[in-house]
């Protein structure tokens, strides 16, 4: 059995090397420890990084943990990464993403009904960006595909779980209310496609 100090050190190394959020179960298997014990060590590390004001923080995404940069250092990171092009999700993509996030699992027909416009290409774009995924099929007529958000969605928008989503009292207002559509704000994310492509899909 390893000491807590050794296991915390190992968790830091594994998170750094893994690149993606590290699952508690995988870390527990490597360290030959119980998942509850490893989860608690992750949380202790997370608190230590915050208390010490470190530039690197640990974010929990469902039952996994990974390194992220401290949000207050964003200005310095942007300067360092300039002139890397930063692209944003279009209003159409944010609108569809908000509907899926709050109504999941939801069919394309339901999304179209809420928006009053076809959303097929916008949905396909969100699937390509790994923000949305097919969760199965509806029991309704024709058994259409149903969609939901992914772990990548939680990661990009800074949520630990879907419980962190801001409350929206009326889903029918999503199409008309910009603040609710954007959830947090129109977050800058690096993607492979332009806003112009998504906006063109609306026409």
The predicted-structure confidence for 64-87, as pLDDT tens digits, reads as follows: 999 999 989 988 888 787 654 445
Higher pLDDT, 139 or 82: 139
What pLDDT, on the 0 to 100 scale, is given for residue 139? 85
Cα 162 to Cα 72, 140, 151: the distances in Å are 24, 25, 10
pTM confidence score: 0.53
What pLDDT, on the 0 to 100 scale, is given for residue 87? 58
Q: Where are the strands (E) in 14-131, listed by range?
A: 22-23, 56-61, 64-69, 87-88, 106-107
The label of the residue with tokens 């809420």 reads 114
How far is residue 101's CA from residue 129's CA, in Å, rounded to a whole number? 15
Q: Which residues pair with 69 in a beta bridge?
A: 56
Residue 193 DSSP code? S
Q: Which residues pair with 124 in a beta bridge?
A: none
How far is residue 22's CA from residue 13's CA, in Å, rounded to a whole number? 11
Q: Which CATH architecture has domain 4-73?
A: Orthogonal Bundle (1.10)
pLDDT tens column, 85-115: 445 788 889 899 999 999 999 999 999 999 8
- Where in the chain do CATH 1.10.10.10 domains reside? 4-73, 87-201
Q: List phi, psi (to 5°) of 165.
A: -60, 140
CATH assignment of 87-201, among 3.40.50.300, 3.20.20.70, 1.10.10.10, 3.50.50.60: 1.10.10.10
* Mean pLDDT, the chain, whole residue set: 81
């Amino acid at each position: 059995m390893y000491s807590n100090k050794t296991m915390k050190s190992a968790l830091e190394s594994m998170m750094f090397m893994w690149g993606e959020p590290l699952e508690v179960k995988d870390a527990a298997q490597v360290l030959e420890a119980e998942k509850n014990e490893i989860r608690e060590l992750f949380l202790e590390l997370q608190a230590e990084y915050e208390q010490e004001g470190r530039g690197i923080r640990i974010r929990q995404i469902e039952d996994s943990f990974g390194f992220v940069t401290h949000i207050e250092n964003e200005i310095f990171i942007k300067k360092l990464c300039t002139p890397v092009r930063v692209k944003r999700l279009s209003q159409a993509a944010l609108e569809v993403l908000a509907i899926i996030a709050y109504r999941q699992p939801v069919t394309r027909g339901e999304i179209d009904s809420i928006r009053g416009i076809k959303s097929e290409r916008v949905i396909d774009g969100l699937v390509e960006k790994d923000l949305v995924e097919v969760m199965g099929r509806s029991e309704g007529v024709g058994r259409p595909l149903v969609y939901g958000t992914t772990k990548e969605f939680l990661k990009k928008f800074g949520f630990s779980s879907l419980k962190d989503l801001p409350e929206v009292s009326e889903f029918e207002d999503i199409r008309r209310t910009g603040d609710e559509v954007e959830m947090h704000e129109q977050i800058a994310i690096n993607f492979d496609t332009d806003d112009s492509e998504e906006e063109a899909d609306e026409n």
